[in-house]
Amino acid sequence: MKILVCNAGSTSLKFKLYEMPECKVLATGKVERVGSADDAIFGYCSCRTGFNIEAAGECIPGYKEGIERFLGCLTGGDGAVLSDISQIERVGYKSVLSKGHYGVHEIDGGVLQGMRDFMALAPVHNSAYLNAIETMQAVLPKAKHVGVFETAFHRDIPMERRIYGVPFEWHEKYGIQRLGYHGASHGYIADVLNAEKKEYGAISCHLGGSASVCGILNGRSVDTSFGMSLETGLIHANRVGDMDPTMIHFLEQEGLSMEEILEGCQKKGGLLGISGVSNDLRYVLEAADQGNRRAKLAVDVFVTGIVHYIGAFFLDLGRLDYLVFTAGIGEHSDRVRNMVCAKLAPLGVKLDEEANRGCRGGAVISAEDSKVCVRVIPTDEELGIARRTCELN
Ligand code: AMP
């Protein structure tokens, strides 16, 4: 079955066409700066023929043009991998959030309405996906369109870890609850571990521009650091993590507008907000090394947050066989992995310093006598989406 995976950002689109269940990538594509009349970037790569283009200065005024450009490459020219776009049976979206639809769903009017209902919780993501889905549905009317919501992997988290201490009617009426995100990534990590072992406890640390920790018991998420919105849990590159809600009211009384407060939490917070240096951890670490105290504080806040969740999830799980690092920071920063693991000695975690430093791609980085197997597993969110899309009956 040919499955197209679509990842939509506010001004970008990424595509991967798979042959499933073989998990074979047939072609990839990307559009950056969607909306530009003369400065968009279009990339396409055919895994079948090796044909590869990366063109800048393109006119791609909207999602429709970007999608059509990609589909055109799939069926015509030197990089063609399909004889007709109708061969695409399913399209899977790395969609984020839809009220009442927290799993993997064939997209219908109700799912789209749920995305509109929760627009305030994920405005950038939900508007991008609504646009991409509606455009794709018009271009591929016969395909099955599947929303693999980022909340899906966390659907089994028990209610006692899901419910906030707010009036219960808020949960019933407005859907207020902890939902969790990065489901495609943590789900992919579980896929990798499931292939090796049936019964295990694992903690997956997805540390990237957006960061979360997830406790996994026998392949299922039992808790995660994200709450209801993307501005929760760990601090992120430029988004606040968990924050006392009363601070918002207090800051308003201090004279900040709601717009300024939201901007602080959603764009000027996190590593950037604390360090004042950058939202990129590489620059924050560099500044910390040069003696910048706020940069060091930002790194410490980040690491401490990760350790807190690992400690809590260890008790939720009752066992810890694997500790996994993934995503940009998790896969590439031996320093962060080292700082986190150094605080986990009470759990019997012991790193192999050399393996950690030399790690490129996936590897076991714990010492032989470590009680927990510490691993770096490069995430593959698109493959996770393709699998969930393929599995849907
Ligand atoms: P992602 O969102 O998964 O693409 O991760 C992107 C982030 O990974 C960037 O913002 C960087 O801060 C971070 N990153 C990538 N490589 C490194 C590295 N070697 N050391 C520290 N941070 C890194």
- Give nearest CA residue, ligand 1 atom 11: 280
Q: In terms of Cα–Cα distance, which of 367, 364, 325, 315 is closest to 345? A: 367
Long-range interactions of 171-179: CB distance < 8 A, separation 24+: 175/99, 175/100, 175/118, 176/228, 177/228, 178/224, 178/226, 178/227, 178/228, 179/97, 179/102, 179/151, 179/154, 179/226, 179/227, 179/228
**Enclosing domain of residue 143:** 2-149
Going from the Cα of 254 to the center of ligand 1, the distance in angstroms, rounded, reads: 35
* Greatest CA separation for the chain: 63
CA distances for 297 relative to 141, 263, 272, 285, angstroms: 52, 21, 11, 10
CA atoms of 108 and 97, how far apart (whole Å): 14
Query: How much is the pLDDT for 10?
Result: 85
Domains in the chain, number: 2
Same domain assignment for residues 145 and 226: no
H or E element that contains 221: strand 220-224
CA atoms of 377 and 326, how far apart (whole Å): 6
Q: In terms of Cα–Cα distance, which of 229, 223, 211 is closest to 299? A: 211
Cα 31 from chain centre = 19
pTM over 0.75: yes
Residues 59-100 have pLDDT tens digits of: 999 999 999 999 999 999 999 999 999 999 999 999 999 999
Same domain assignment for residues 214 and 307: yes
Closest ligand 1 atom to the C-alpha of 237?
A: 10
pLDDT averaged over every residue in the chain: 97
Within a domain: 353: yes
pLDDT band at 304 (very low <50, low <70, confident <90, very high): very high
CA atoms of 58 and 106, how far apart (whole Å): 33
Residues 7-45 have pLDDT tens digits of: 998 899 999 999 999 999 999 999 999 999 999 999 999
Within a domain: 189: no
CA distances for 183 relative to 73, 196, 358, angstroms: 30, 20, 28
- Give nearest CA residue, ligand 1 atom 23: 329
Q: In terms of Cα–Cα distance, which of 136, 101, 181, 126 is closest to 17? A: 136
Within a domain: 180: no
Going from the Cα of 271 to the center of ligand 1, the distance in angstroms, rounded, reads: 12
Residue 244 confidence (pLDDT) above 90: yes
| Residue 187, Cβ density class (10 Å: 0-12 exposed, 13-18 middle, ≥19 buried) | buried
- Give nearest CA residue, ligand 1 atom 8: 328
Who lines ligand 1 at CB under 6 A?
208-209, 237, 280-282, 327-329, 332-333
Residues 119-135 have pLDDT tens digits of: 999 998 999 999 999 99
Closest ligand 1 atom to the C-alpha of 209?
A: 2
Same domain assignment for residues 215 and 144: no
CATH number at residue 307: 3.30.420.40
Residues 346-363 have pLDDT tens digits of: 999 999 999 999 999 999
Q: In terms of Cα–Cα distance, which of 43, 10, 262 is closest to 130? A: 10
**Best of 188, 206, 236, 280 to mutate for ligand 1, by most ligand atoms within 8 A of CB?**
280
- Give nearest CA residue, ligand 1 atom 10: 280
CA atoms of 65 and 68, how far apart (whole Å): 5
Same domain assignment for residues 20 and 87: yes
Same domain assignment for residues 369 and 226: yes
- Give nearest CA residue, ligand 1 atom 20: 333
Rounded average pLDDT over 174-180: 97
Within a domain: 174: no
Same domain assignment for residues 142 and 210: no
* Helices 258-266 & 246-253 angle (0-180, nearest 10): 130
Same domain assignment for residues 129 and 201: no
Same domain assignment for residues 136 and 204: no
Same domain assignment for residues 247 and 335: yes
Same domain assignment for residues 248 and 326: yes
Within a domain: 387: no
Going from the Cα of 17 to the center of ligand 1, the distance in angstroms, rounded, reads: 26
Going from the Cα of 378 to the center of ligand 1, the distance in angstroms, rounded, reads: 13
Going from the Cα of 119 to the center of ligand 1, the distance in angstroms, rounded, reads: 28
